[in-house]
Amino acid sequence: MTTERITLYSGPLSMFGAKVQIAALEKGIEFDLVMVPFDFHALYAPKHPQVLRINPKGQVPVLVHGDLELFDSTQIFEYFEDMQPSPPLWPRDARDRARARLLELQSDEVYFPHVVRLMGLQDHLQEPPAQAAIVAARAFHESLEAQLADGRAWLSGEFTYADIAFYMAALFGERQGATLTEATPRLRTWRDRMSDREPVRQVAGAMAAWLLAAGRPLPPFMKELLG
């Protein structure tokens, strides 16, 4: 294993970059953070040359560790788990680990697309396309509420990458109109539990501060991250 420090390229409003930052902090993995410039007009243009060189999609996160160059938050999770097995962020039991990995995938690929759709419909949230996306997102919330019905503290029984992934996806959902409601009280309590974790407060709190400085509204739970 190389003794060189990790460099992580992320962005101030990157859900996927934030996932990786939180995971590294939870693992106690040291890294140098490069925040790629972003604003709401130019977005990431011009894109960072290292990000463009390493990731064909031109997106963060990108991780460099010696001669290893990775992109995609889930692939970086897997590297972290092999690189530093303790504390584990996947369950040790094979079936539980498979379920947690599936939930991490669903957070990114099933739930988050509804949120992305809402990003382009912020002036039309009461119209059918936006309402359909909100209904679909909330159906996903309700499926997780059911998973928490047995009194478990975390989505997969123990704290895992799946919790990190869904917390960040739901944070963006909350900002776009797919709010957690009184219909999912256990999931709201889970979110509070996540917000109390120091790595989560550090990363999501920095994102909240950036949004506030940019004049963007914050949902109530994000305001609490600023304290």
Distance CA 42, CA 90 (A): 37
Task: Tell which of 83, 111, 130 closes a domain.
Answer: 83
Task: Tell which of 51, 83, 115 closes a domain.
Answer: 83
Same domain for 100 and 78: no
Residue 1 located in a structural domain = no
Same domain for 128 and 107: yes
Same domain for 112 and 213: yes
Same domain for 54 and 108: no
Same domain for 101 and 205: yes
Q: How many domains does the chain have?
A: 2
Same domain for 104 and 12: no
Distance CA 12, CA 53 (A): 20
Same domain for 134 and 67: no
Residue 178 located in a structural domain = yes
Take residue 144 and report the two structure tokens written for it: 């997780």
Task: Give me the tens of pLDDT residue by residue for the chain, a chain 227 residues long.
Answer: 567 899 999 999 999 999 999 999 999 999 999 999 988 887 788 899 999 999 999 999 999 999 999 999 999 999 999 999 999 999 999 999 999 999 999 999 999 999 999 999 999 999 999 999 999 999 999 999 999 988 899 999 999 999 999 999 999 999 999 999 999 999 999 999 999 999 999 999 999 999 999 999 999 999 999 97
59 lies in which domain range?
A: 6-83
Phi-psi region of 2 (alpha: psi -120 to 50; beta: other; left: phi over 0): beta
Q: Which CATH number fits the domain that encloses residue 119?
A: 1.20.1050.10
Residue 19 located in a structural domain = yes
Q: Is the pTM of this model over 0.85?
A: yes
Residue 78 located in a structural domain = yes
Residue 123 located in a structural domain = yes
Q: Which CATH number fits the domain that encloses residue 46?
A: 3.40.30.10
Judge whether 36 and 44 are in contact, CB under 8 Å: yes
Same domain for 18 and 114: no
Please say whether the dihedral angle defined by the alpha carbons of residues 177, 119, 129 and 169, taken in this order, is positive or negative: negative
Distance CA 114, CA 7 (A): 31
Same domain for 10 and 117: no
Judge whether 19 and 8 are in contact, CB under 8 Å: no
Same domain for 115 and 31: no
Residue 116 located in a structural domain = yes
Same domain for 137 and 70: no
